[in-house]
Structure formats: structure tokens, C-alpha cells
Structure 1
Amino acid sequence: MHARRLTTGVYTGLLLLLAVYFMPWAQANTLLSASPNQASYSLTPYNEFWLADEQSLTINDLLSQQRTFQRTHQAQDLNFGYTRGDVWLRTQVRNDSPEPQRWIVEFEYPFLDYVTLYTLRQQHSDVQHSGSAVPVEQRALARRQAVFPLELAAHETVTLYTHVAASGSKMLSYNLLTPEAFYTQNDRHNFWLATYFGMLLAMGLYNLLLFFGLKERVFLHYSLFVAGFGLAILAFNGIGTLMFWSFLGENTSRLVALGFTFASTMATLFAQSFLNTEAYCPRWHQVLSTFRNYCWLAVIASLLLPIPAALHLMDVTGFMAALLLLICGSYCSLRRVPSARLFVFAWSIFLLGAGVFALRNLGILPANFITLHGIQIGSALEMLLLSFALASRFNKLKRQKERAQAAMLTALKKQEAALEQKVAARTRALEHLANCDMLTGLLNRHGLARCAKEALERNRQYSQRLALLMLDLDRFKPINDCYGHEAGDFVLQQIAKRIAHLARTGDHCARFGGDEFIIIMENIEPDDTLENIQTRIAEAIRSPIKLPCGERVSVSVSIGVSTCQETDDATLESLLREADSHMYAVKSRQAAKCYRYGSAS
């Protein structure tokens, strides 16, 4: 028995020693030891808070009266909602580095009116101010949310007291970040926010232009809804205060209430126009009209009521509008109202984004980019879908107008098409008459001049080689004399067909005179031998031609060639003169040859 008691006493003593040993470590958990090796810390696990009943309590009053602070155990402990009194936060930060370090204290939620940070050191204390109601030039750092620089000497320990006063909801999650981590995160968030607001601006202006062009009020209602919502989000995110209306002070909160309430009013009006409730669901149209009248009263009340009451009214109005429009859209979807399903899907996404944001504020979901900007993401997707629906509506209206006009313009279009066909056929006939030889179908002199001009231009532009062949028929006149001009015309037609058959794709063949023909050949390759081309042409032309009367005749040809390099400043006239000179030289040689043969015989 005594041994058992002794053993129990030993164990109890050991437990007491362990408790005494670990008690300093438990107390040390309220102290954040910040190491420069880690870029960011959440201050929630190291934080204590106190809800003040007195509005004008100073830091000296707080320190002298020894207020009892409560430990923060989880993120949702720092979500105080619409608490009337101010909130005081307390945490300790120690620099673990042997060198001075610079940190940034960042409050995630931007919609806080006044945030004052007191840094208590051994020798002195610092005071810094920020918040959405504080003018930009008076803030510790000019950023859209409350942020403060924190300088820590080597191994220095400081106590941070933060006083928060806000008319709206108090969500006081805050972090400690290195300047590099803060500015990287801030730039990323600002980029996506700028993209978001740029999208809102583009959609609003686009639909406003559609309203002016089509005179359809649904586009105006959508533009006003986007404008009200965008104005409220600008103020809510702190960007509007940072860039445009820092002078408003506490009235920034009133602007948020006014913007969201006005957006609820325009959303109701847009739903009535978009779903055409007056035609498809008259009872729901009456319900929405009544609620819209209430929304207008809420807009007026947002201007007159105290700011906390205006913000409460904003929350109630927004919730009622979202729920009412979702139920109405679902009913219209069951009634198969056009585009009702897309409307319900868009509003569901918006409510999902708002729900994610609320769950994150309650600490149920972790803090990340999606949960921090749930409302923006949900509203962006919602407005994109509604824009697609409006675009579909625009196309539908366009098709209806086109069908209405089609019945009136059918006869006119037929007549116009018939007239265009006649004009086109007449134009082609005139072009053919102007550019082609009536007998052979080849180019005439006018057509040859036009094609030659274009060919020479391409020759100079693309550095090609061009050749002009002048063909003059020999022994053609006896055919006319013996068989008549009809037989001569028949021979010319057959010769033209043979020339066109031998020509390459892209060559230009023309009848230049009575029995003279021209071939313009572009893009002559270095391995193309003009002598071989002339031989093939001469052989084809010498082939016998059977006349309609049954007789066979044959003609020969004299060919003159002129060429043009890309550097030559040649014209059609110069090429014709050169080819004509060469052709007559060929004729002279052939005549001399025939004379020698005749003398020898």
C-alpha cells in the first residue's frame, strides 16, 4: 500500500514538473517569432481581441485599465459581423533574425473604415492610420486595403495593438508578410481586379450602345445594373477610394449601400424585361413590380438613414432580390420561357460565389484567391452569361427584323438579281468584244496591250524573264485566192487553236493582224530553250489542215523572238519592234534558201 502511494506520488510530481516546464512554452505560443526565411504568417493563431463598449477609448486608457483580451483560436473568431462597438486586437511579434527586418501587416478585408496600428516598443511607440474612410495621403501605405509597414530591429520583440472602427461588417483576418511577398500578391490581385472591372466596363458600354442602336430597354436595364454593381464593388474593394473618391471619408460606406441597392433595383427591372414576365408570367410580373417599388424606397433610404442602418438595409434588399429573382427564373424555366434556364444558371453562379465568400469569412473555407474574391468571380461569370443571353436576344431580334424585311424585299431582290445578271453578262460580252478577236477567240490588240502591261509589271516586280514571239504565216494568201476567204478564216481558226494548245498556262496569245499572231511568255526558266519552243510551234502550224470542202492545205510560219530581263526598261512597242525585226530576218533567210533550192533545181 505504501509502495503504491509512493509510486502515485512520484507520477504526480513528474506531471507537475512537466506542467511547470511546458507552461512557458504554452504562453510563448501567443508570440510570433518571425523568420525572414518564411514569406508570410497568419496572425490569427497569435492574436487576442477585445470588444470595446466605449467608442472613444484610447490606447492609454486601454493600457491603464488592463482590459481582458480573449485568445483567437480559429479564423472565424475574427469575424465580428455588424458589431456596434470597436474591436481591439493584440499580438506580439519577435524578429528571430540577427539583422533588422522589414515586414508588412496586411488586413485582407478592404471594407474597414478606420484601422489604427499601435506598435509598442521598449523605448517608444509608433502610431499608423489606414482604412477606407481615411484619405489616401494620410494612410500608412497608399493601398486599397489597410496595410502598415513594420520595422523590427535585430531580435526585437514588439506588441501590436490594432483599433478597428467600421460601420459595416468587421472581418479582421490579418497577416504578416515580407515586402516582396506582399507586393507580388498585391500586383497579382490588382491585375485580376483590373481585368474584372475592365470586363464590367466593356459589357456595360457595349449593351448601352446596343440600346441606342436597337432602342430595346432590356439592354439599358442591363447597363444600369452593371453600373450600379460596378460602383458598389469599386467602393467595396477600396479601389474607388484609392483612385477616385478618397475625399468621401465615411460616406464611402454609404456609396457601397447605395450602389448595391440600386443594382438590386436594376436587376429586378432587367429580369422583368429579359424574361418578358408581363407576357409569360403576369403574376410574377406584378410581384417583381411591387418589389421594385420597395427597392426604389430602399435607394432613397440609403441616402437618408445612418450608415450602419443603410448597410443593413442593403444586405436585406440584396438577399431578397437574389432569392426572389432565382425563384422567378426557376418558375419561368418550368414554363419554358425563352432564355430562362440561362438566367437561372447565371444567378446560381452568382449566389455560389457569394456563398464561397461568406464561408471563407466564417473560417469554414481556407483563404485563397477564389474564396477572397468569390463575389467578383461569381458576378463576373454571371454577367458574362447574361451578356451571352443578351447577345442571343440581339441575334433573335435581328433575325426577326430580317424575316420581316425579307417578305417586302423578295420581289425587289429578284428583280435586282436579274438585272445584275444581265449587267454582268453584258459587261462580260463587252469585255470580250473589247479584248478578244471575234474570229479566233484570241486576244486582240487592245487585250494584248492590257495583258502585256500587266506582264511587264510582274516581270519587273518578281525579277522574271519574259519573251515575246511574233508569228507570221507563210503561203496563206494562196489559200484565200484559191478557196475563198471563208476557207482562209477556217485556217486562221485552226492555227489559233493549235497556238493556244501549245501555249502554257499563263501565256498570252493574240491575233495581231490578218495572219500575224503574238505569244507573250512569262517566267521563262533558264533551261527553257526558245529554239525548241519555236520548233514545236512551227511543226504544229505546218501540219496539214483539212478544209470544209475536203481539200488539205498547209502553211508555214516565220517566228521572231524578243526577250526582256527584269532589269530592262522594255515596253510592248519595243518588244514588238525587236520581234518584228527578227521575224523579217527569218523570212529573208527562208526566202534566200528557197531561191537557192529553186536555182539548183
Structure 2
Amino acid sequence: MHFRRLTADVYTGLLLLLAGCWVPWAHATTLLSASPNQASYSLAPYSELWHATDQSIMLENFLSHPPDFKHAHHEEDLNFGYTRHDVWLRTQVRNDSPKTQRWMVQFEYPFLDYVTLYTLRQQGIEAQRSGSAVPVEQRALAHRQAVFSLELAAHERVTLYTHVAASGSKMLNYKLITPEAFYTQNDRHNFWLATYFGMLLAMGLYNLLLFFGLKERVFLHYSLFVGGFAVAILTFNGIGTLMFWSFLGDNTARLVALGFTFASTMATLFSQSFLNTKTYCPRWHNVLSIFRSYCWLTVIATLLLPIPSALHLMDVTGCMAALLLLLCGSYCSLQRVPSARLFVFAWSLFLLGTGVFALRNLSLLPANFITLHGLQIGSALEMLLLSFALASRFNKLKRQKERTQSTMLAALQKQENLLERKVAARTKALEHLANHDVLTSLLNRHGLMRSAEGALQRNRQHGHRLALLMLDLDRFKPINDNYGHEAGDFVLQKIAKRIVHLARTTDHCARFGGDEFIIIMENIGTGDTLAPILARIDQAICSPIDLPGGEQVSVNVSIGVSTCHGADEATLESLLSEADSDMYAVKSSQAAAYYRYGSARS
């Protein structure tokens, strides 16, 4: 019995001893002994935290009535997501060196509105302010992140109180880092950020120039998407407030929400243009149009709602856009829409980064390098891939334009050739109309003059004989009087056809007047006689003609002849005058013969 009681007392003493040793050790872990041999320390394992329900509480309240701080064991314990309460952090740092050491206290997350660092020393309290909503000239250090300088004397021990107020997600991972390591890290980060934002700027301007050159809206939509995204990410990374718009103050967070919601709107519009959903996927086009209208409403809402609500709406809209556009792209890929597969691959990387960004802000994912920089990584990969897709689209549009220009040029050449043929045909028709009689299609006076000029020139060159026959119809006027002018025109057409039929291919036939006709015959041999030709002409013209009404009529003809040789200086006027005199002589002789024949019969 005594043995059991002794054993219990021993166990109780051991437990009390362990408890007594544990408590000092547990409190000791909140003290960081900083050695200059190590470049940086994460302050999360050495920090205590407290959520302030009253935002007006001051450090003096802590010193007089210390609140119940909770120990943070891991970096994840300092990722609070969206919370309305301000957060206070407390940690103790001791210089583990016999020399004065200078350190930097750096918060990794740049999107923190107000960060105030209080350093409690034996000599008093030192306060430093920074944050994305603090003007640059009022910050402890002009940097895109909240960074503070901390100088510790030999073996000095200080207590750090940090007050953080932010409308957005509160990721409070911070560390103690030597100035040398800080500036080396800063140079490396600035290089990659400069490369990243240079790529954003180049892509935005390049696509904007393509829009002005090609008038294709898909390039404008992508340029606007890059512009809205660039403004938001510049502000989110602290570069925008550091270099351009630190005067915004509390509205810095609102600009982030506005930029990302506008980028979601333009991303939807770009997807519709790039995938041509109106043609290939009409239903998805309607869905995206409705979602785009919702995005425009969110853009307006981010200007009117309180900043925390606007940031929540930004994250929800980003997640919805990520899911919706990925589903639309996948469907278009299954439907074999041009460039849809590359779009899905590129866009999924960006949407994955957007989703990680939103889920981390909502405290659903832990804070680490991937979740902190996932948006930049995903967008960089997406823009590189989409640049290839847009370059392919540009080359395709260029080839289409070249084919269109070739087609248009061929069409213009075809039209030009057709026009030339029409002009030539019209010219030929006008020329024919100018040189030929409308009724009989024989040469008119103008055509006769041109033909006679050429015939006389050839006659002089070759020394041939030329004859001009003047035919004057007799008894033609009674036909017009008895049967009408239409019948007279019909008779003239018939006689013209008979004259053409009798003439040689080298002869020139013309209608010289109302019922007068001219025939110019070239190359008449000296041994030839015109009598058989005149007889055939007289016989053909005097043959009866059947009118369309059934009547039969006939006319006579008086033929006058004039000839010339190559050596003669004959002209058309002289030949016409001579033929006219001969024709009237023939007409007089025919009239005399007709008179004698009539007298004999009586």
C-alpha cells in the first residue's frame, strides 16, 4: 500500500517537473535569437496573433491590458483570407551578436492596405507605417511590399507589435532578413516582374496595332483584356501604387477589383470572338453573352459596393469566368472549332492561376509560392501560348486577305477584259452604225467615202482599173404611194440583198440616197466588159418581189457607169458625177425606148 502511494507520488512529481519545464520552453519559442550567420528567418513560428474586434484599439491598450494572444506555429496560421477584423502580431527578437546588426522586416504579400510596426525598446516605442494604401512618401521604405528597417544593438532584445488592416485577403507571412539578402532578392524579383509586365505591355500594344491594321475585333478584345488585367495585377503587386497611383489610398483595393472584373468581361468577349461561338456554338454564344452582361454589372457594382464586398464579388466572378470559359473551350474543342484546342490549353493555365488566386484569397488554399504567384505564372504561360494562336490567326487572316486580293484582282481583270470587249464591240457597233445604212446594212455616204478612198489608193498603187456603178430605181415611188412606206422599205431591203449577192467580196456596195445605190468594183481587167455584170444586175433587180401582204411588185433600174485607171487622178466626186451623167443618159434612152414601144403598140 505504501509502495503504491510512493509510486503515485513519484509519477506526480515527474509530471509536475515536466509541466514546469514545458511552460518556460513554450514561452521561449516566441523569442527569436537572430544570428548574422543566417540571412533570413520566418517570423511565423515566433509570432503570436490576436484578432481585434475593435478597430480603434491602440498599442497603449495592449500595454495596459494585454489581450489573449494566440501562438502561431506555422505560416499557414497567418493566412486569414477575408476577415473584417484587424490583426495584431507580436514577436520578440534578440540580437545574438556582440555587434549592432541591421535587419529588414518584410511582409511577402504586397496587397495589404495598412501595416504599422511598433518596436518596443527600453528607450521607448518606435512606430513605422507602410502598406499599399499608404502614400509612398509616408512609407517606412519606398517599396512595393510592406518593409521596415530594424536595427538591434549588441544582444538587444525588442518586442515587435504589428497592426494589419486590409480590405482584401490577409496573408501575413513575414520574415526577418538581412539588407544584403533583401536587396539581392529584390533585384531578382524586380527582374522577373519587369519581364512579366514588359510582356504584358508588348502583347497589349501588339494586338492593339493589329486591330488598327486588320480591323479585326478579336485583337482589340484581347488588348483590352490584357490592359484591364495589367492594371489589376500592377496594383495587386504594389508596383502600380509605388510608381503611379499611390494617391488612391483606400481605393487602391477597389482598383484591383475593378481591373479584374473588367478583365473577366473582356476575356469573355475575347473568347466569343476567338472561338467564333456565334457561328460554331450558338448556344454557348448566348450563355457567354448573358454572363458578359453579368460581368458588366459586376464592373458597375465594384464602383458602388463597399470595398470588401467588391473584392468578394471579384473572386466569385473570376472563378465563374474560369469555369465557364474552360467548359466553353472544351466543348468547342470537341466540335473541332479552329484553334479551340490551343485556346483550351492556354486558357486553362491562366484560369488555373486565377482559380488558385481566388481560392487562396478565400482561405481555401494555403499560402505558398505557387498560390502567391499562381496568377502571374498562369497568365504568363497563357499569353505566350495565345500569342502563338493569335500569330497563327494573323497569318491566316493575312493569307485570306491575300487570297481575297488575288480573287478581287482576278475579278477586276475579268471585268476589265469584259469591259474592253464590250467597248470594242460597242465601238465596232458605233463604227458600223456610222458607216452603214440602218435599213439595208449597206454602206452609207460616210462609209462609201472611206471605202472609195482606200479603193482609189490601191488602184493607183497597182495600176488596176476601177468601176463605179450608180443604180437608180424606177417605178419605186408608186410602191410607197400604193402600199405604204413599210412596203417600200421592204423592197429596198430585198434589192440591197440582191445587190450584195451579185457583188464580189472585194466590191463595195452602198445606199447613196432614197432609192439610189452605188457599187465600187476594184481590179477590173482591161479585157473585161461590164455589160454582163450590168445585165445580171438589171435582171436581179427587175425580178418580181413578194410583199408581206401577198402582193407582188417589181421595179426597174437605171445604171450609170464611170471607170478610171491607175494613172488617172480620179476622185469619188468625179466618178459620181460621171456615173450620174451616164445614169441620166441611160434613163433618157430607156424613156425614149419606152415611148417608141408604146407608140408602136398603139
TM-score normalised according to structure 1 size: 0.66
Assess, with a 3 A threshold, how the Cα gap between structure 1 residues 140 and 299 changes in structure 2: closer, same or farther: same
> What is the CA distance between 1:57 and its match in structure 2?
1.0
* One-letter identity of the residue aligned with 1:100: T
The equivalent residue for 1:56 is 56
- 2: CA distance, partners of 1:287 / 1:356: 24
Task: Tell me the secondary structure at the aligned position of residue 54 of structure 1.
Answer: coil
Task: Tell me the secondary structure at the aligned position of residue 338 of structure 1.
Answer: coil
Counting matched residue pairs gives 413
Give yes or no for contact 1:360–1:367 (8 Å, CA) kept in 2.
no
The equivalent residue for 2:423 is none
Assess, with a 3 A threshold, how the Cα gap between structure 1 residues 321 and 34 changes in structure 2: closer, same or farther: same
- 2: CA distance, partners of 1:55 / 1:22: 35
- 2: CA distance, partners of 1:397 / 1:162: 57
Task: Tell me the secondary structure at the aligned position of residue 132 of structure 2.
Answer: coil
The equivalent residue for 1:510 is none
Task: Tell me the secondary structure at the aligned position of residue 373 of structure 1.
Answer: helix
The equivalent residue for 1:13 is 13
Assess, with a 3 A threshold, how the Cα gap between structure 1 residues 18 and 48 changes in structure 2: closer, same or farther: same
Give yes or no for contact 1:359–1:365 (8 Å, CA) kept in 2.
no
* One-letter identity of the residue aligned with 2:139: R
* One-letter identity of the residue aligned with 1:96: D
Give yes or no for contact 2:46–2:92 (8 Å, CA) kept in 1.
yes
- 2: CA distance, partners of 1:129 / 1:212: 46
Assess, with a 3 A threshold, how the Cα gap between structure 1 residues 177 and 191 changes in structure 2: closer, same or farther: same
* One-letter identity of the residue aligned with 1:206: Y
- 1: CA distance, partners of 2:334 / 2:410: 39
- 2: CA distance, partners of 1:352 / 1:331: 18
* One-letter identity of the residue aligned with 2:260: F
Give yes or no for contact 1:356–1:365 (8 Å, CA) kept in 2.
no
Assess, with a 3 A threshold, how the Cα gap between structure 1 residues 363 and 298 changes in structure 2: closer, same or farther: closer
- 2: CA distance, partners of 1:355 / 1:174: 24
- 1: CA distance, partners of 2:14 / 2:265: 69
> What is the CA distance between 1:407 and its match in structure 2?
4.0
> What is the CA distance between 1:323 and its match in structure 2?
1.1
Give yes or no for contact 1:232–1:258 (8 Å, CA) kept in 2.
yes
Give yes or no for contact 1:120–1:158 (8 Å, CA) kept in 2.
yes
> What is the CA distance between 1:71 and its match in structure 2?
0.9
Task: Tell me the secondary structure at the aligned position of residue 155 of structure 1.
Answer: coil
- 1: CA distance, partners of 2:373 / 2:303: 27
1:375-390 matched pairs, under 5 angstroms: 375-390=375-390
- 1: CA distance, partners of 2:407 / 2:119: 80
Give yes or no for contact 1:225–1:264 (8 Å, CA) kept in 2.
yes
1:433-448 matched pairs, under 5 angstroms: none
1:239-250 matched pairs, under 5 angstroms: 239-250=239-250
- 2: CA distance, partners of 1:254 / 1:389: 33
> What is the CA distance between 1:360 and its match in structure 2?
7.2
Task: Tell me the secondary structure at the aligned position of residue 232 of structure 1.
Answer: helix
The equivalent residue for 1:152 is 152
The equivalent residue for 1:33 is 33
Give yes or no for contact 2:354–2:375 (8 Å, CA) kept in 1.
yes
Residue 301 in structure 1 maps to residue 298 in structure 2: no
- 2: CA distance, partners of 1:37 / 1:336: 60
Residue 179 in structure 1 maps to residue 187 in structure 2: no
The equivalent residue for 2:233 is 233
- 2: CA distance, partners of 1:255 / 1:12: 62
Residue 291 in structure 1 maps to residue 316 in structure 2: no
- 1: CA distance, partners of 2:357 / 2:302: 24
* One-letter identity of the residue aligned with 2:14: L
Give yes or no for contact 1:112–1:132 (8 Å, CA) kept in 2.
yes
Task: Tell me the secondary structure at the aligned position of residue 159 of structure 1.
Answer: strand
Assess, with a 3 A threshold, how the Cα gap between structure 1 residues 380 and 76 changes in structure 2: closer, same or farther: same
Give unpaired runs (5+ residues) of structure 1: 414-601
- 1: CA distance, partners of 2:176 / 2:85: 25
Give yes or no for contact 2:319–2:354 (8 Å, CA) kept in 1.
no
Task: Tell me the secondary structure at the aligned position of residue 388 of structure 2.
Answer: helix
The equivalent residue for 2:319 is 319
Assess, with a 3 A threshold, how the Cα gap between structure 1 residues 41 and 357 changes in structure 2: closer, same or farther: farther
Structure number with greater Rg is 2
1:35-184 matched pairs, under 5 angstroms: 35-184=35-184
> What is the CA distance between 1:346 and its match in structure 2?
1.3
Give yes or no for contact 2:356–2:365 (8 Å, CA) kept in 1.
no
Assess, with a 3 A threshold, how the Cα gap between structure 1 residues 359 and 294 changes in structure 2: closer, same or farther: closer
Assess, with a 3 A threshold, how the Cα gap between structure 1 residues 35 and 358 changes in structure 2: closer, same or farther: farther
Give yes or no for contact 2:76–2:366 (8 Å, CA) kept in 1.
no
Assess, with a 3 A threshold, how the Cα gap between structure 1 residues 171 and 196 changes in structure 2: closer, same or farther: same
What do residues 46-85 of structure 1 show as CA deviations (whole Å, max 9, x unaligned)? 1111111111111112222221111112222211111111
> What is the CA distance between 1:11 and its match in structure 2?
4.2
- 1: CA distance, partners of 2:105 / 2:262: 35
* One-letter identity of the residue aligned with 1:107: F
The equivalent residue for 1:404 is 404
- 2: CA distance, partners of 1:54 / 1:139: 24
Give yes or no for contact 2:33–2:95 (8 Å, CA) kept in 1.
yes
Task: Tell me the secondary structure at the aligned position of residue 10 of structure 2.
Answer: helix
Task: Tell me the secondary structure at the aligned position of residue 94 of structure 1.
Answer: strand
What do residues 200-240 of structure 1 show as CA deviations (whole Å, max 9, x unaligned)? 00001001110011000000000000000000000000000
1:418-457 matched pairs, under 5 angstroms: none
1:289-368 matched pairs, under 5 angstroms: 289-355=289-355, 367-368=368-369
Task: Tell me the secondary structure at the aligned position of residue 134 of structure 2.
Answer: coil
- 1: CA distance, partners of 2:220 / 2:360: 34
> What is the CA distance between 1:408 and its match in structure 2?
5.0
Give yes or no for contact 1:254–1:310 (8 Å, CA) kept in 2.
yes
- 1: CA distance, partners of 2:145 / 2:400: 50
Give yes or no for contact 1:51–1:85 (8 Å, CA) kept in 2.
yes
The equivalent residue for 1:208 is 208
The equivalent residue for 1:445 is none
* One-letter identity of the residue aligned with 1:290: I
- 2: CA distance, partners of 1:366 / 1:89: 18
What do residues 82-122 of structure 1 show as CA deviations (whole Å, max 9, x unaligned)? 11111111111111111111110000100011000011112
| Greater Cα offset, 7-16 or 255-264 | 7-16
Give unpaired runs (5+ residues) of structure 2: 414-602
- 1: CA distance, partners of 2:199 / 2:234: 13
Give yes or no for contact 1:111–1:168 (8 Å, CA) kept in 2.
yes
| Greater Cα offset, 167-176 or 394-403 | 394-403
Assess, with a 3 A threshold, how the Cα gap between structure 1 residues 113 and 267 changes in structure 2: closer, same or farther: same
Task: Tell me the secondary structure at the aligned position of residue 175 of structure 2.
Answer: strand
- 2: CA distance, partners of 1:360 / 1:28: 32
The equivalent residue for 1:395 is 395
Give the alignment's Cα RMSD to 1 decimal. 2.2
- 2: CA distance, partners of 1:212 / 1:203: 14
Give yes or no for contact 1:203–1:223 (8 Å, CA) kept in 2.
yes
Assess, with a 3 A threshold, how the Cα gap between structure 1 residues 30 and 400 changes in structure 2: closer, same or farther: same
> What is the CA distance between 1:359 and its match in structure 2?
7.6
- 1: CA distance, partners of 2:268 / 2:167: 27
Assess, with a 3 A threshold, how the Cα gap between structure 1 residues 366 and 65 changes in structure 2: closer, same or farther: closer
- 2: CA distance, partners of 1:217 / 1:364: 37
The equivalent residue for 2:452 is none
What do residues 432-481 of structure 1 show as CA deviations (whole Å, max 9, x unaligned)? xxxxxxxxxxxxxxxxxxxxxxxxxxxxxxxxxxxxxxxxxxxxxxxxxx
